Amino acid sequence: MGNYLADGIYPRWLVFVKTIRCSSDERNDYFAELQESARTDVERAFVEYEGVQLISWANDDADEASPSHDVVTPNVRMRVPHYEVGRLKEHADMRQVDAHIRLQKDLIEELWARKTERR
């Protein structure tokens, strides 16, 4: 699962590396400075590639016959094709707010350690 540099409008999911607003901590400020700089660079580099390329993908597995699995939620039981089970799990995994917070803290500490090593 990849990570994407994101701004404040995105949810706190594991796949989004968001900036920190209104921080009073030097480490958090340093992280926010680097994240926002990198995000701006990426936006400038790829803005021309938006549109058709983002939606022109195909799932080759979708046409293949495969077994199904039962997916049970508190109020719903449904039959899901085998190739969809992995996608459902990945979708649930990426929406973990706690994992997002841990990732952000780990990134902050890693960047701060690299900064202090250079001094």
Judge contact between 94 and 14, C-beta under 8 A: yes
Higher pLDDT, 92 or 10: 10
Q: For the chain, give percent helix, strand, coil, nearest 5.
A: 55, 15, 30
pLDDT tens digits for 26-39?
A: 999 999 999 999 98
pLDDT score recorded for residue 50: 57
What pTM does this model have? 0.60
Q: Which of 14-28, 62-76, 90-104 has the highest mean pLDDT?
A: 14-28
pLDDT tens digits for 35-90?
A: 999 988 888 887 755 555 555 554 444 555 455 555 555 666 666 677 777 777 77
Please name which of 8, 14, 37 lies closest in space to residue 103, comparing C-alpha atoms: 14
For the chain, the structural domain boundaries read 4-118
Please give the span between the terminal C-alpha atoms of the chain, in angstroms, as a whole number.
Answer: 33
pLDDT score recorded for residue 60: 47
Residues 111, 93: Cα–Cα separation, whole Å: 25
The backbone torsions φ and ψ at residue 86, rounded to the nearest 5 degrees and listed phi first, read -60, -40
pLDDT score recorded for residue 78: 63
